[in-house]
Amino acid sequence: MAIPVVDEAGRIIGVRTVDDVIDAIVEEHPEDVQRFGGMEALDEPYTQIGFFSMIRKRGGWLSILLIGEMFTATVMKHFELELSKALVLTLFIPLIMSSGGNSGSQATSLIIRAMALDEVKLKDWWRVALRELPSGIALGAILGLLGVLRVLIWQYMGIGGGYGVHYGLVAAVVGVALLGVVTFGSLAGSMLPFVLRRIGFDPASASAPFVATLVDVTALSIYFYVALFFLRGTLL
Amino acid sequence: MAIPVVDEAGRIIGVRTVDDVIDAIVEEHPEDVQRFGGMEALDEPYTQIGFFSMIRKRGGWLSILLIGEMFTATVMKHFELELSKALVLTLFIPLIMSSGGNSGSQATSLIIRAMALDEVKLKDWWRVALRELPSGIALGAILGLLGVLRVLIWQYMGIGGGYGVHYGLVAAVVGVALLGVVTFGSLAGSMLPFVLRRIGFDPASASAPFVATLVDVTALSIYFYVALFFLRGTLL
């Protein structure tokens, strides 16, 4: 129930009890939640840490994330012509992006948990991939269906003026894009902890920002390519 | 180091040791990370849970989040006229939205940690608000500056064709919108755990999706109102 702490000469200089262990676990616990929320852990209590010390710790992470997300502006610029022709496409960009991010962070947190509990090991990555691919497709199909229903219901009820004569195609683009984005998000989100662990990072502390940036940028690209496929000859 | 487990008649039917307690803490620990990642905790190991059981647990959360995010399409539709006049505005929508979401989830995880460690109590909400307002403004100013630099550097280097003759105004819109969005995100993200706890929810399990939806929808609105203020008479 207790272990001695000794110096280099083997003399006892202290003792650690099982209570200390429990205290340490409980204290460390929310630190991981915090890291997953995207920031360096504060060394001091929230109520006592200095203003500039806190800004430095929080601002560093937020800046890195912002710089990562700047790639989304590059992708948007790349498809500016398509956006100008089919403005209706812009309406669903936030919806599509956030669904990709949500499915990605869900899959990541799932795998981080499974890794922490030793349910999956590094060599199991392909087993997880084979599981996440059909899961992602099933989840994507559910969300895609909801997206299609959103477009059709708003169209038929005339809420906000509707989505134009090609609303059926718009619904198809939203549905198929959600299917693709959620599938990619689940797969990428589940593989990232393996990649991070393989190259020596702690998945729990580094995954969230990587998933967010990777999935957001890819989600936009998937959406625009799906739109090109369905709308070429009509809106595009 | 151990406590007895008794039935209704007071007869001992088992014993719980301190080891059981440690095991329980360690097991529960990643569950919270998982909840924060936006899903109901799986009762069974990832490798053993049935396919449909997993889809149901994951799909429920993702569907709720999708339905919440549908408000973003409503906001976008509301500003469709402005978008059609100033298409350059669409380019930065993902950037602005994700910065709001990131600052919101950062503030939320910070306060959840502080609550878990009993550093802040329910009645301290106004103390936290008074702390988060200047923090949010400082963080927003940093990100806003980065956003302005992004627009100006790309413009001067002519990357992707630039942002038109009013690029200075576009840079101002991006910078001020980031300032507003990050300030709102930090404030809303830090207050939400108090609200959830006050109405009887566990902040750790419910905050992430609420923050995401609330901040995304508000971030879009802030961005468009800032654009209206700066671009009226030129682009709008």
pLDDT tens, position by position, A6-55: 888 888 888 888 777 777 766 655 555 545 555 556 667 887 888 888 88
* Helix A203-231, helix A167-198: angle, nearest 10: 150
Residue from A84, A91, A120, A163 whose CB has the most chain B CBs within 10 Å, to mutate: A91
The mean pLDDT of B83-111, rounded to a whole number, is 89
CB contact under 8 A, B95 and A72: yes
How far does B9 lie from chain A, in Å, by closest CA?
A: 31
Record: fold of A75-231: Tetracycline Repressor; domain 2 (1.10.357)
Token digits of residue A164: 């134009």
Please name the residue of chain B whose CA is at the shortest distance from the CA of residue A86: B84
Q: Which residues of A touch B3 (CB under 8 A)?
A: none
User: Dihedrals φ, ψ of A79, to 5°?
Assistant: -105, 25
Token digits of residue B126: 């106004």
What is the pLDDT, as a whole number, of residue B42? 66
Q: What angle do CA B91, B75, B69 make, to 5 degrees?
A: 90
CB contact under 8 A, A45 and B150: no
CB contact under 8 A, B51 and A106: no
Please name the residue of chain B whose CA is at the shortest distance from the CA of residue A73: B91
The string of DSSP codes covering A147-168 is HHHHHHHHHHHTGGG-S-TTHH
* Domain coordinates in residue numbering, chain A: 2-36, 75-231
What is the spatial distance between Cα B184 and Cα B190, in angstroms, rounded to a whole number?
10
Output b/e per residue, B33-49; b: 16+ Cβ within 10 A. bbbbbbbeebeeebeee
What is the spatial distance between Cα A69 and Cα B144, in angstroms, rounded to a whole number?
14
Q: Which residues of B touch A51 (CB under 8 A)?
A: 134-135, 138
**pLDDT-derived band of residue B234, with 50, 70 and 90 as boundaries?**
confident
Please name the residue of chain A whose CA is at the shortest distance from the CA of residue B114: A46
For chain A, 236 residues long, give each residue's pLDDT as a single digit of tens: 788 888 888 888 888 887 777 777 666 555 555 455 555 566 678 878 888 888 888 888 888 888 888 888 888 988 988 888 888 889 999 999 989 988 988 888 888 888 888 888 999 999 999 999 999 999 999 999 999 999 999 998 887 777 888 899 999 999 999 999 999 999 999 999 999 888 888 777 666 667 878 888 999 999 999 999 999 888 77
Residue A102 is nearest to which of B25, B62, B76, comparing CB atoms?
Answer: B62
Q: Return the residue matching tokens 């990643």.
A: B30
Q: Which residues of B touch A62 (CB under 8 A)?
A: 99, 102-103, 106, 139, 142-143, 182
What is the pLDDT, as a whole number, of residue B206? 64
Beta strand spans in chain A (E):
2-6, 12-17
Token digits of residue A87: 């403005």
Kindly report the average pLDDT of chain B as a whole number: 85
What is the spatial distance between Cα B213 and Cα A95, in angstroms, rounded to a whole number?
10
User: Dihedrals φ, ψ of A2, to 5°?
Assistant: -150, 150
The mean pLDDT of B88-109, rounded to a whole number, is 89
Helix, strand, or coil here: A68? Answer: helix
DSSP state of B42: P
**pLDDT-derived band of residue B25, with 50, 70 and 90 as boundaries?**
low
How far does A13 lie from chain B, in Å, by closest CA?
A: 24
The mean pLDDT of B171-189, rounded to a whole number, is 96
What is the pLDDT, as a whole number, of residue A218? 93
How far does A14 lie from chain B, in Å, by closest CA?
A: 21
Of B91-105, B137-151, B210-224, the range with the highest mean pLDDT is B137-151
Please name the residue of chain B whose CA is at the shortest distance from the CA of residue A220: B94
Contact between B212 and B185 (Cβ < 8 Å) = no
CB contact under 8 A, A36 and B33: yes
Q: Which residues of B touch A61 (CB under 8 A)?
A: 102, 106
Residue A66 is nearest to which of B45, B84, B143, comparing CB atoms?
Answer: B143
CB contact under 8 A, A37 and B139: no
CB contact under 8 A, A146 and B63: yes
What is the pLDDT, as a whole number, of residue A236? 78
CB contact under 8 A, B38 and A73: no
Lowest mean pLDDT of A9-18, A207-216, B33-42, B183-192, name the range: B33-42
Number of H helices, E strands in chain B: 7, 2
| Of B33 and A163, more confident | A163
pLDDT tens, position by position, B67-76: 888 888 888 9
Q: What angle do CA A132, A137, A140 make, to 5 degrees?
A: 115
How far does B155 lie from chain A, in Å, by closest CA?
A: 12
The mean pLDDT of B79-94, rounded to a whole number, is 89
CB contact under 8 A, A135 and B61: no
Considering the domain B78-231 in this protein, what is its CATH number? 1.10.357.20
